[in-house]
Structure 1
Amino acid sequence: MQNTIRTAIHFTGVGLHHGRSARMSIHPAMANHGIWFRRTDVAGNGMIAARHDSVETSPLCTLLINEAGVSVSTVEHVMAALTGCGIHNAIVEIDGPEVPILDGSASDFVRAILKAGIARQDAPVHALEVLRRVHVSDGAASATLTPAPELEIDFSIDFADRAIGQQHKVLRLSNGTFVRELCDSRTFCRQSDVDAMHAAGKALGGSLANAVVVDGDRVVNPEGFRHTDEAVRHKMLDALGDLSLAGAPILGRYTGIRAGHAMTNKLLHALFADPLAYRVRTLTAAECGILPGAGLEKDVFTHL
């Protein structure tokens, strides 16, 4: 069955890219509502659908925009948290243009969702079942969807900085895997990228409190990585958030090679452009048990 959050939850923080303070809250929504953002600081049409066709190309984050030109950016972490906790319906209210980055991962969102509780709704889940291979690429980067009985993510990265280097990880996202394995992995960048972004007036809210910075073979953050492969885990976190913009759970295997936000969005457009590549499938109660977030309990994941 579909789920929403049991009670509203609230967050305050700074936006990674704009550097502006933001207050955000997540509220329950009725069955079949989906996930929507609402800009509370905007008069008129402040509702923005969390869908792949609302995405405007942005190299550093996922930005959603509505027909009135109202936007909200850096939605990937909260979307990953909602999907990873099995939330299908919610309204995310925010008083600015960017979701607060918090610690650079999705763990604060997950912790709050689990504490608030998950409410089951009297409506079936409709999933997108991948029926045949869909592939997009741009140079050495690519993203692919292939048939699989449940959502799997296979991700590979390759950075010149030896602190990251080549990393590869494969996970099935059922039975709380996102919460256990991915949600606490932080966004990362190279020191040279930080210097370039600051010179260009970008990443104004970035700091060692919300990102892992590497410089060659050195991790600048005193605490180091949370996981030896935290970088690829974070890319998988981002991929889940971007895939959630399909508007329904995906049953299939996502393979990303050096893929970013734009590449995953391009893949969703390619999927929906091919009516033979997928079908909408209504899941039984038993089949819902293979979805991300199924069976989560707030006190199970004490590491959060």
Structure 2
Amino acid sequence: MNAVRQKTLADSVTLSGVGVHSGALSQLSVSPAPSDTGIVFHRSDSKQSVRAGRSAVRGSDLATVLRDKNGPAVSTVEHLMASFAGLGIDNAHVEIDGPEVPILDGSADVFVSAFENVGLVETDRARRYLKVLKPIRIENGQSFGELLPYDAGLRIEVEIDFDHAAIGRQRYAATLSPDVFRRELAPARTFGFVADVERLWQAGYALGASLENTICLDGNGVLNETGLRFADEFVRHKALDAVGDLAIAGLPLMGRYRSYRGGHKLNFAVVDALLSDRSAYEIVEARVPARRPLHGLAGVAVATPAYAPDL
């Protein structure tokens, strides 16, 4: 762990674009929030508000959808949530005037750049972590996802296996830090197969997908003229999605996440299983030194009484 105090943005940022599934144009503004706020979404057009957390998840098939008591509030939050988690941002207000977070370039890169341009600030409260105490595993056919104890923060180990020459079997593993997220995961874009497009359109998905925001593959390879940003961009994007999906736990995880042939639904199922078993985790709080630490000074996590996230 490298964060002692909770963090938020130093100033507001505003971004706009189309939703990859709805095709609808929306604008979102991300603003600083006080300690212990968490990540709260506000729909300016429908007056809905929802705190990102386990109980707010309505769907997780092809994207993570959050809802309040009145129904669906905002969808495709995973890249934005990954940016918060990857940079260590604990608290923020997100105001959006449409049903879906803009896909932008298909990665988290634009979010990261915008947040780092305004800067981050520490609040006066210690950061809390959700520490995994015992293995939690979900299997679905050949796919599986599991959380294991790991005391050095959040470690991501993701493996994919596609019957496609451009992808094949790829694996990515790293212990998450702002620098690792910024360099290795944030630029990785979402991807899809031309053969699936008609089926997705009929189901109401991928209406905003294009070569500007999605790596498109046909039977021969990648259609995007710009090519790939990483030789293994596909698995890196799956790891990026996993970081965002795990952030739905409500607190930063201290554990090792492993998945094989996973996706949003499997990632959330693991989070749900963890939070359903009170013996599988505990809340630990970073010990804040009496004097404000120098930038980058590591904290020490100790078990202290604290609220359980969104039970």
- Structure 1 length normalisation: TM-score? 0.92
User: Matched residues, percent identical?
Assistant: 42
Q: Which moved more, 1:48-57 or 1:176-185?
A: 48-57
1:129 aligns with 2:146: no
Match of 1:33 among 30, 37, 48: 37
Give the Cα separation in 1 of the matches to 2:59 and 2:139. Answer: 16
More strand per residue: 2
Give the Cα separation in 1 of the matches to 2:41 and 2:207. Answer: 23
1:141 aligns with 2:138: no
Structure 2 gaps, min length 5 = 289-296, 302-311
1:83 corresponds to: 85
2:280 corresponds to: 277
Q: List per-residue Cα deviations over 1:128-150 (Å, max 9, x = no partner).
A: 11111000111111110001112
1:24 corresponds to: 28
Q: Which moved more, 1:147-156 or 1:213-222?
A: 213-222
Q: List per-residue Cα deviations over 1:195-216 (Å, max 9, x = no partner).
A: 3223444311110000001123
Give the Cα separation in 2 of the matches to 1:7 and 1:197. Answer: 38
Aligned partner of residue 255 in structure 1, secondary structure: strand
1:162 aligns with 2:165: yes
Deviation of the 1:190 alpha carbon: 1.1
Give the Cα separation in 1 of the matches to 2:83 and 2:172. Answer: 19
1:297 corresponds to: none
Whether contact under 8 Å (1:175, 1:289) holds in the other structure is no
Give the Cα separation in 1 of the matches to 2:170 and 2:215. Answer: 16
Whether contact under 8 Å (2:74, 2:98) holds in the other structure is yes
2:69 corresponds to: 67
1:248 corresponds to: 251
Whether contact under 8 Å (1:174, 1:289) holds in the other structure is no
Structure 1 gaps, min length 5 = 291-304
Name the count of aligned residue pairs: 288
AA aligned to 1:78 is: L
Match of 2:221 among 199, 218, 221: 218
AA aligned to 2:135 is: R
Aligned partner of residue 78 in structure 1, secondary structure: helix
Give the superposed CA RMSD. Answer: 1.4
Give the Cα separation in 2 of the matches to 1:74 and 1:98. Answer: 6
Deviation of the 1:49 alpha carbon: 1.3
Give the Cα separation in 1 of the matches to 2:40 and 2:178. Answer: 25
Give the Cα separation in 1 of the matches to 2:216 and 2:93. Answer: 33
Give the Cα separation in 1 of the matches to 2:88 and 2:11. Answer: 15
Deviation of the 1:258 alpha carbon: 0.9
- Structure 2 length normalisation: TM-score? 0.90
Q: Which moved more, 1:217-226 or 1:16-25?
A: 217-226
Q: List per-residue Cα deviations over 1:41-71 (Å, max 9, x = no partner).
A: 014xx11111122111242100001112142
Give the Cα separation in 2 of the matches to 1:64 and 1:200. Answer: 19
Deviation of the 1:244 alpha carbon: 0.6
1:196–1:289 distance in 2 versus 1, CA, 3 Å: farther
1:293 corresponds to: none
Give the Cα separation in 2 of the matches to 1:7 and 1:175. Answer: 19
1:236 corresponds to: 239
Whether contact under 8 Å (2:65, 2:72) holds in the other structure is no
